[in-house]
Amino acid sequence: MTPSSPDSVADESVLVEIPIEDLPRELPISAAQLRMVQHREEPESKFPLVALGGSAGSLKAFEQFFLNMRPDSGMAFVVITHLSPYQDSGLVGVLQHFTSMPVQEAADGLKVRPNNVYVIPPNRDMSILHGTLLLFVPTQPAARRLPIDFFFQSMAKDARERAVCIICSGMGSDGTIGLKMVMENFGMVMVQSPETAEYDSMPRTALATEFVDYVLPAEQLPAKLLEYVNKPLLARPRREVAESASKPAHALQKIFILIRAQTGHDFSFYKRNTVFRRIERRMNSHQIQEFTHYVRFLQENPAEVEALFKELLIGVTKFFRDKEAFENLKARLMPLLREKPADSVVRVWAPGCSTGEEAYTLAMTLLEALDGVDPTRYLKIQIFATDINPDGIDQARAGLYPESIEADVSPERLARFFTKVDGFYQIKKEVRDVVIFAVHNLTKDAPFTKLDLLVCRNLLIYLSAELQKNILPVFHYALNPGGLLFLGPSENLTGFQDLFAPLDVKWKISRRSDAAPTLTRIVSFPFSLARPQASPAPAAGTMHLNSTRKDGPFATLVQRVLLRQYTPPAVVINTKGEILYVNGRTGRYLEPAPGLGGMNVFEMARES
C-alpha cells in the first residue's frame, strides 16, 4: 500500500497549500515566483483543470480532441508535449486552428483561466501552484526529461479532485507516475485508446497501471469529459455526502461488507473521508448519485467490487521518494550495521510495499550502506516486503519498471542495480535476492519479528486513529532493541513517545526504546488489531510472570484474555521468546527442541 509517492498524501483537508519544501529540490524557484504564489489577491476559482500529455503522433489526437470540445465548457486546458529544445514548435498556432478558445504559450506566473488553452514552451518544465503556471529551466538532459509527469504531479496537488489528466499518443512512459498521483488525489484519468494512437507506448503504459477511468478514441474524449464534470455529485458538499451515508440504510457499512465478502479485506477502519471520496469517484464514473443505488450496483456487479477494492488501495510510490530521507536513513543505519555480529542477518520489514519501488529502494540503500562496513564480516540482508494487493505483489516480484524511473534513480544506481531489457529496467538478481515479497494484511496477520528496521511510509495516514493505536505497539514488539522505525513525513508517533525515541524529526526516523507495552497489547496483537479492548489488563510489571501453575493468577488472567480475544492455539512469551503459557493444541506449530533446556518459541518453532 501504500497507500503508496509522489508526495501526495490522503489528508482530509480541503486546502491546496503546498509547503515550499515540497517544491522540487533540484529546480530553482525565484523570489518573484515566490511572491506570485504567496501574495494572492483573489480566492482560487474552482473550475476543472484538464492536462493533455502526448509525444510522437499526439498532434492528431489534440486536433480531434479540440475539434470536438465546446469552447464554453468552463474548463481550462494545458497541453504538455515533448518539444525540441532548440526551435519553436509552432504548436500554439496549429492548435488555434482547431478551437475558438484562446490558445497561448504558457508564461512564468500566468494565472490559468477557464475556457483557455495553455501550451508548454520549448525547453521548459512547467508546474502549477495556486492556479499559477511556473516555468523552470530543465536540469535533466533531454533524453531523461519527463515534462508530462512533472506537470501532472503538481496539478494533482494543486487541483486535487478538479484535476483531469489525459494521455495521448506517444513513445515511452511519461505520465504514468503523474496519473497515479492525480487519481490518489481524487482526480480523473483518461487515456486515448491504444489502437487509435499513432504510437501506442504511452497509452499502453498508462493502462498497465490500472488507474485509468476512461479509454476512448481522441474524438470521443470531450463528450465523456463534459459528462463527467457536469455531474451534480462532483459539486456536492462533503458534509452532505457524509450525512447521506449515515442514514438508516447504512450504505457505507453495506459497502464494507460487500468488499469483505469478495476480497476478504475490511476497510471499516480506514479514514472515513478518504473512503467516502474514493467511493464518490467510482460513483461519478457510473453516473450514480445515491449511495444506496451504488450499493445495489455493487451487489449486481462483482467486477465493480473489485474495481472499488483497487481504488481504495491506490497509493503512489516511486524509487527514492524523498531522496534526502533515504540519505538520512543510510546515515542512521551505519552504526547499527557496524554493531551487528559477523555472519548475522539484517532483517527489515516494509508493509504496504505496493508495486515494490520502495522495497527495492531499501535494498539498494542497504547494499550501499554495506559498502562502508568491514567486508570480512559478511552481513546478510533480508527484506520482507508485504501488501494486501496480490496484483501489486506480482508486479513487485517481476522487478520490471518503465524508463520513466530514470527521473528518480541516478545513472550510477541504474548501472549498478538494473539491467536494460526491451525499453524497461529489470532489477538485478543481487537486489531481488534480498527482498521477499508476500501478501500480508497488516491489520490481522502476524507481524514479522526480530527486525533491525521497519519501514512503513505513507500507510498509517490512510488508517483511523484507533487502528494506528493498535498497530504502533505491534511495530515496537516487532523491532529488536535499538531497531529503527521509518515513517512517512506526514505521520507521527503522538501518544507513543514512550515506545520510540526520535532520531530525525523531519524525516520521522525513530529508535525502539526499551519500554515494554502492557500485557494487554502484547496478548491481543496481532489477532484482533481492529477490535477495541473490552477492559484493559494490568501492566506486565504488576504480575508474577513466572507463575505458570495451572491454577495460578497469571494463568487465569492470560486464559481469560486469550479466550476473549482469540480462540485458535496460541502461546504467551516474554521478550526473550521464553514460553510463559500455552493455550490450545500447538503441535502443528511447535515441537520440543533436542537436548535439555527451557521452552523457547524460537527453538521450538517447526521449520514449515
Query: Which residue type, as a one-letter code, is found at position 518?
Result: T
Cβ proximity of 346 and 379 under 8 Å: yes
pLDDT at 389 > cutoff 70: yes
Q: What is the largest CA-CA distance in the chain?
A: 89
Cβ proximity of 292 and 249 under 8 Å: yes
Rounded CA-CA distance 194/191 in Å is 8
At 327 the pLDDT is: 93
Residues 452-500 have pLDDT tens digits of 999 998 888 778 777 888 888 999 999 999 999 999 887 888 778 888 9
Residues 494-551 have pLDDT tens digits of 778 888 999 998 899 999 988 665 444 444 444 443 333 333 333 333 334 444 445 5
Q: Which residue has the higher pLDDT, 14 or 488?
A: 488
At 87 the pLDDT is: 63
At 597 the pLDDT is: 62
Rounded CA-CA distance 425/306 in Å is 29
Average pLDDT in the chain? 80
Cβ proximity of 131 and 113 under 8 Å: no
Q: Residue 196: count other Cβ atoms within 10 Å of its Cβ.
A: 19
CA atoms within 13 A on the CB side of 296: 6
Beta strands in 17-102 (DSSP E): 49-54, 76-81
Cβ proximity of 312 and 271 under 8 Å: no
Rounded CA-CA distance 437/460 in Å is 20
Q: Which three cell numbers stand for residue 94?
A: 496549429
Residue 175 phi/psi, 5° resolution? 110, -20
At 552 the pLDDT is: 60
What share of the chain in percent tops pLDDT 70?
79
Taking alpha carbons only, the member of 564, 562, 563, 560 closest to residue 572 is 562
Q: What share of the chain is helix, strand, coil (3-state, %, to 5)?
A: 40, 20, 40
Q: Which of 323-332, 373-382, 599-608 has the highest mean pLDDT?
A: 323-332
- The burial of 235, by beta-carbon neighbours within 10 Å (0-12 exposed, 13-18 middle, 19 or more buried), is given as exposed
Rounded CA-CA distance 554/560 in Å is 10
pLDDT, average across residues 283-300: 86
Cβ proximity of 348 and 363 under 8 Å: no
At 127 the pLDDT is: 94
Rounded CA-CA distance 45/502 in Å is 41
* Strand arrangement, sheet containing 163-167: 103-105, 117-119, 76-81, 49-54, 163-167, 188-192, 214-216
Rounded CA-CA distance 254/259 in Å is 9
Residues 127-148 have pLDDT tens digits of 999 999 999 988 877 777 889 9
At 141 the pLDDT is: 77
Residues 253-279 have pLDDT tens digits of 888 889 888 888 888 777 777 788 788
Residues 55-69 have pLDDT tens digits of 989 999 999 999 999
Residues 79-92 have pLDDT tens digits of 999 877 666 678 99
Rounded CA-CA distance 496/484 in Å is 15
Cβ-based neighbours of 259, under 8 Å, separated by 6 or more:
265, 266, 267, 305, 308, 309, 312
At 13 the pLDDT is: 35
Residue 118 phi/psi, 5° resolution? -120, 135
The pTM (predicted TM-score) of the whole model is 0.59
Q: Which three cell numbers stand for residue 461?
A: 495516514
Q: pLDDT tier at 6 (50, 70, 90 boundaries)?
A: very low
Alpha carbon 443 to chain centroid, angstroms: 17
Mapped onto helix, strand or coil, the DSSP state of residue 77 is strand
Q: Which domains does the chain have, with CATH numbers?
A: 20-230 (3.40.50.180), 234-312 (1.10.155), 323-512 (3.40.50.150), 543-604 (no CATH)
Q: Residue 330: count other Cβ atoms within 10 Å of its Cβ.
A: 16
Place of cell 470531450: 222
What are the beta bridge partners of residue 438? 386
Cβ-based neighbours of 255, under 8 Å, separated by 6 or more:
279, 291, 294, 295, 298, 308
Integer angstrom CA distances of residue 170 from 90, 140, 222: 19, 20, 19
Q: Which helix (H) or strand (E) holds 233?
A: none
Residues 215-246 have pLDDT tens digits of 999 999 999 999 888 875 444 444 344 444 44
What share of the chain in percent tops pLDDT 90?
39
The DSSP string of 527-586 is TTTTS--SSPPPPGGGS-TT---TTSHHHHHHHHHHHHH--S-EEEE-TT-BEEEEES--
Query: Which residue type, as a one-letter code, is found at position 188?
Result: M
